[in-house]
Structure 1
Amino acid sequence: MKSIVKFAITLGLIAAITGFALAIVYKITKPIIAAQDAKALEQGLSEIFPGDYEFLKLDKPITAQDPSVQITECYLVKDKASGKPVGMVSRVTVPGSQAPIEMLVGVKSDGSVSGVKILKLNETAGLGANADNPKYYVDKKNKITFLGQFIDKNVIKDKLIPKQDVIAMTGATITSSAVSKGVKVAGEAMVAYLKEAGQ
């Protein structure tokens, strides 16, 4: 009986020490991770809307018509010289084949896609993981990447469906469809918001 109590106390102490150590590590690494995420977001916004623009975060994100497409953050893009809105960028999450895919989607006021950037991707290596591979071309002749093909497509006029007006990645139909759907649905929501706000 004494040995069982002693064993339980020892396990409890180990668990307490481990939990305390994890809490300290979390407290130390949390601001570092947050700073890295903020830097990646800032770089992503500038990549999607290159130029002299100001990104104003909306107090509340807009809502997509399709519940499988989650919009968690929205930024109104304004031209610094004129102060006029030129488009929007949203942080979008869609279900991938392995795990949720998180990306930034940028749309101009006329509905044309200004850019797409993957923030988090855990798809199959050599297949869906090629979505953000800068050396993987869906159009080798013109050196167009999977994400690059969305630029200047229009979320209102174009279907944005793989094997129709989007070139799917080889062996990664689910990932191709997920990203395409995220761009289309989030893009439509952003254009609707811009029109409603009179932008």
Structure 2
Amino acid sequence: GEDFARSGDRTVIVPLLQQPNLALKPPFVLELGNMPFAQQEQIMKHLLHGLPNLRGAALDARGNGQSIAEAMRDEFGAEVCEAVMLSENWYRTHTAPFKAALEDGTLTDLPRDEDILTDLRAFELVKGVPRIPDTRTKGADGKKRHGDAAIAFVLAHYASRELNAGPVRVASRKIRRSSPLTRGY
């Protein structure tokens, strides 16, 4: 999941890895501050190409994020990358499963970073819909935040639930051949 920002707020990218017990775990959270569009696109392309079993990516397509979301959709295909137009209806549908994943332990091993945890706590009911309000907070570095990591996590969780179809790569070992010494036993 990716929440895009050019200046002011931050771009936050959150990949989720499915564990053997089917829990989802973020191996890292990448925050980009005041980074030009072209470099954000390069980083996103490199990151997505580097994920060995990429099943889906949900990218913020509101405002300036639409350009990178469309570029990734062109690069990886619409079945893998979805340009998500965040709306009240989208939040209404997808924040409840995200909250449930946090509560039931399906989404595990969140980074113990105060800014990320503050972003995740920023959800409020706005007109009866859980979402990030229009207020800004200050991060540990003194710069503005707007729930950026929370949106990236919700988008990543959405991608894990909705964009995970397609062929599964299977790697198996070579067929064992018995040696002439043990043949017949």
The reply to whether TM is greater than 0.5 is no
The structure carrying a bigger strand percent of its residues is 1
Structure ranking higher in helix proportion: 1
Q: Which has the higher contact order (CA 8 A, sep 6+)?
A: 2
